[in-house]
Amino acid sequence: MAAAQEEHFTRKKHDSGFPGHAIDFCLREVGLTPEQLDYVGFYDKPLLTFERLLETYLAYAPAGFKSFLRAMPLWLKQKLHLPREMSKGLHGRYRKKYVFTQHHISHAASTFYPSPYDEAAILVIDGVGEWATCSFGVGRGNRIELSAELYFPHSLGLLYSAFTSFTGFEVNGGEYKLMGLAPYGEPRYADLILDKLLDLRGCLGTHFRNSLKIGRLDKINPLF
């Protein structure tokens, strides 16, 4: 088994490019060639994610138009053609099946399968996957079943990223800085946040009130 991040080879923090160097390293590390692989998996279902993007841009147009113009070329040229891109990354030597799993299943698998447990409760909370932003379920043996989900735009992760941006840090990169600084602060705005931004009804019933406009999040375009 081997794992690596592309940024370790390119020296680009949070490198969003195709992880060709990481793939080559992992194959060398385990002594395999692309032809010997049984499956190649991707952590997301791109068509569902693209559907969410289009519906969101349409629902809040013209807000987010600049973000739309930035995002579409990458989607149309690369992200909607991932089998082709992955085939290139494997030097045209892999001819078997590509597997696209739900984003939250990928999160759950990355923690449950390497764990020492045969059975475990699973909770996934992030910004947004295809549509899901919070999921829970159970892992048993070699199977994972997510039994309930909370859907975009209701997202604790996006709320945290909004505060990351508001405090001057980069989204999808500066959240850990905000976490690191949080213990040094005082929760003076906690009641205001709960009153104006969140309606708490348990993890999978949490949603934003209308005072948090998703159109205002178009500055956080990497999440979309």
3 state SS for 167-192: CCCCCCCCHHHHHHHHHHCCCCCHHH
What pLDDT is stored for residue 140 in this prediction? Answer: 97
Strand pairing report for 132-140 and 143-151 = antiparallel
Q: Are 169 and 206 contained in the same domain?
A: yes
Q: Are 87 and 131 contained in the same domain?
A: yes
What pLDDT is stored for residue 217 in this prediction? Answer: 44
Q: Are 79 and 136 contained in the same domain?
A: yes
What pLDDT is stored for residue 202 in this prediction? Answer: 55
Residue 167 to residue 186: CA distance in whole angstroms:
15
Question: With contact defined as beta carbons under 8 Å apart, do 122 and 136 qualify?
Answer: yes
What pLDDT is stored for residue 212 in this prediction? Answer: 47
Query: Is 116 part of any domain?
Result: yes
Q: Are 123 and 66 contained in the same domain?
A: yes
Residue 182 to residue 98: CA distance in whole angstroms:
41
- Alpha-helical (H) ranges within the chain are 7-10, 20-30, 46-59, 65-77, 82-89, 103-112, 156-166, 175-181, 190-196
What pLDDT is stored for residue 211 in this prediction? Answer: 43
Query: Is 2 part of any domain?
Result: no
What pLDDT is stored for residue 220 in this prediction? Answer: 44
pLDDT in single tens digits along all 224 residues of the chain: 899 999 999 999 888 889 999 999 999 999 999 999 999 999 999 999 999 999 999 998 998 899 999 999 999 999 999 999 999 999 999 999 999 999 999 999 999 999 999 999 999 999 999 999 999 999 999 999 999 998 888 888 888 999 999 999 998 889 999 999 999 999 999 898 888 787 776 554 444 443 444 444 444 444 44
What pLDDT is stored for residue 201 in this prediction? Answer: 66
Structurally, how many domains does the chain consist of?
2
What pLDDT is stored for residue 12 in this prediction? Answer: 93
- In angstroms, the Cα distances linking 31 to 34, 42, 88, 96, 224 are 10, 21, 20, 19, 37
Q: Are 200 and 213 contained in the same domain?
A: yes
| Host domain of residue 203 | 156-223
